[in-house]
Structure 1
Amino acid sequence: MRDVTRRGLALSLLLSGVAGYVDAIGFIETGGLFVSFMSGNSTQAGVDVVERGLAASFLPLTLVAAFVIGVAAGALIGGQGRRRAWAITASGTAVALSSCLAALAPTGPARFWLLSFAMGALNTLYLSEGRARVPITYATGTLVSLGLSVAALLTGRSRTAWQRPLLLWGSLAGGAVVGATAHRLGSGLALLFAAIVLGIAAAGLAMHRGGRRQHASD
């Protein structure tokens, strides 16, 4: 995250907030599963196999599969990390469209798969050399970065490195609070709002990247 500009950081915080927002809605509707937190689904699938049988692990495992497919699709649509504005726009459009389709779909596995696909693709909006520079949906990686940054602070190596991972985690957690609140108004409407915000954010990111490229060529 160190090489992300302030404007890029602001956009990543917005995207992370939306990820927390969507994940909270998915958690409520699935009765305890996630559409962006795949570690939780993997653990739940393992427990279900033992406690309730293989069939019970179907939904958490397919959510993991949909998330991975979303990452792969986002990387392919976005040119596998070649940061052109059009590529980001294409990836962002795929994210927003799948979120919109999820909002319109009836509550059930199809909606949850679409949301997991969208959250997987969301992580490809900040790619560099085939790797995600900003962990949009996975708080564990962000908290590892935070812990390492705290160690750097205590050893005098960096006084400010902890700020960005803390902000990113806070955005994700805060988004979950907003999502749980918005769910009370109706999940379809709440998810449609998320799709609109994702579309706007992706457009903003594309404009930001396009502006940086144009500035670099001047």
Structure 2
Amino acid sequence: MRDVTRRGLALSLILSGVAGYVDAIGFIDTGGFFVSFMSGNSTQVGVDVLERGLVSSLLPLTLVVAFVAGVAAGAIIGGNGIRRAWAVAASASAVALSAGLAVVAPTGPARFWMLAFAMGALNTLYLADGRARVAITYATGTLVSLGLAIAALVTGRSGSAWQRPLLLWGSLASGAVVGAAAHRLGSGAALLIAAIVLAVAAVGVATRFPGRRERSSG
């Protein structure tokens, strides 16, 4: 992540904030499941299978499937340069669709699948060597980077490496606070705001983000 330019970092912070925002809305509406934090859903699947039966585990399980599908789709349609904008645009479209479903089919799981798909696609913005190098929508990888950077600070190897992962985590957490507040407007309206922000970000990637020059390291 230290190789990402300031413009790339700003974009990452915006998208991470949106991810926290959307995840908070999904968490509230599903009653405790996540649309971007798949580790939590995976644990919930295991617990529900044992405690409540297979049927109760279907929603968190299908959220994991939708997230993976979003990653795959983002990797296929995305890439370097302007093609990165397509992955962000796909995320915006999926969130917008979920906003519509929140109005016409608020109890259906499809709108949560759309959100998980969108969050998965966002993680393909920075790809290198066949893997996502910046954790846009989940905190675990970012916190690992933060811990390693703190170790580097303590041992004198780097005095500033901790700043970027801390900013990324802070953006995700702050986005969750804003998302929880926006949920009071109603899920449809709150998600529409997220879709608009993602659409603007996609335009920014297409017109100004120098994708070929961006590199990142976890």
Sort the TM-score into its range (normalised by shorter chain): over 0.9
TM superposition shift of 1:163: 0.3
Separation (CA, whole Å) in 2 of partners of 1:57 and 1:112: 15
How far apart are the structure 2 equivalents of 1:203 and 1:131? 24
SS in 2 for 1:96: helix
Cα deviation code 1:99-157 (max 9, x no counterpart): 10000002220100000000000111122232212110110000000000000000000
Q: CA deviation at 1:160?
A: 0.2
Partner of 2:96 in structure 1? 100
**Contact conserved, 1:13 with 1:168, CA < 8 A, in 2?**
yes
Q: Who is 2:175 aligned against?
A: 175
C-alpha distance 62-32 of structure 1, shift in aligned 2 (>3 A): same
Q: 1:5 to 1:210 in 2, by over 3 A?
A: closer
Alignment of 1:34-183 (within 5 A): 34-78=34-78, 81=79, 83-85=80-82, 87-105=83-101, 106-107=105-106, 108-183=108-183
Equivalent residue letter for 2:157: R
Question: Could you tell me whether the CA contact under 8 Å between 2:35 and 2:116 is conserved in 1?
Answer: yes
CA RMSD of aligned residues (A): 1.2
What TM-score do you get using the length of structure 1 for normalisation? Answer: 0.93
CA–CA distance in 2 between the matches of 1:153 and 1:130? 29
Tell me if the contact between 1:36 and 1:138 (Cα under 8 Å) persists in the aligned partners. Answer: yes
Q: Percent same amino acid at aligned positions?
A: 75
CA deviation profile, 1:10-68 (whole Å, cap 9, x unmatched): 11000000000000000000000000000000000100001101111000000000000
Aligned residues: 209
Structure 1: give runs of 5+ residues left out of the alignment: 214-218
Residue type of the alignment partner of 1:84: G
- Give the 3-state SS of the residue equivalent to 1:209 in structure 2: coil
Runs of 4+ residues over 4 Å off in structure 1: 210-213
Query: Alpha-carbon deviation of 1:2?
Result: 1.0
Give the Å deviation of 1:211: 7.8
Whether contact under 8 Å (1:103, 1:111) holds in the other structure is yes
Q: Could you tell me which amino acid in structure 1 is paired with residue 190 of structure 2? A: A
Tell me if the contact between 2:38 and 2:64 (Cα under 8 Å) persists in the aligned partners.
Answer: yes
Match of 2:201 in 1: 201
Q: TM-score, normalised by structure 2?
A: 0.93
CA separation of 1:53/1:205 partners in 2, compared to 1, >3 Å: closer, same or farther?
same
Structure 1 pair 212–53 and aligned structure 2 pair: CA distance change class (3 A)? closer
Unaligned residue ranges in structure 2 (runs of 5+): 214-218
C-alpha separation between the residues in 1 aligned to 2:7 and 2:85?
17
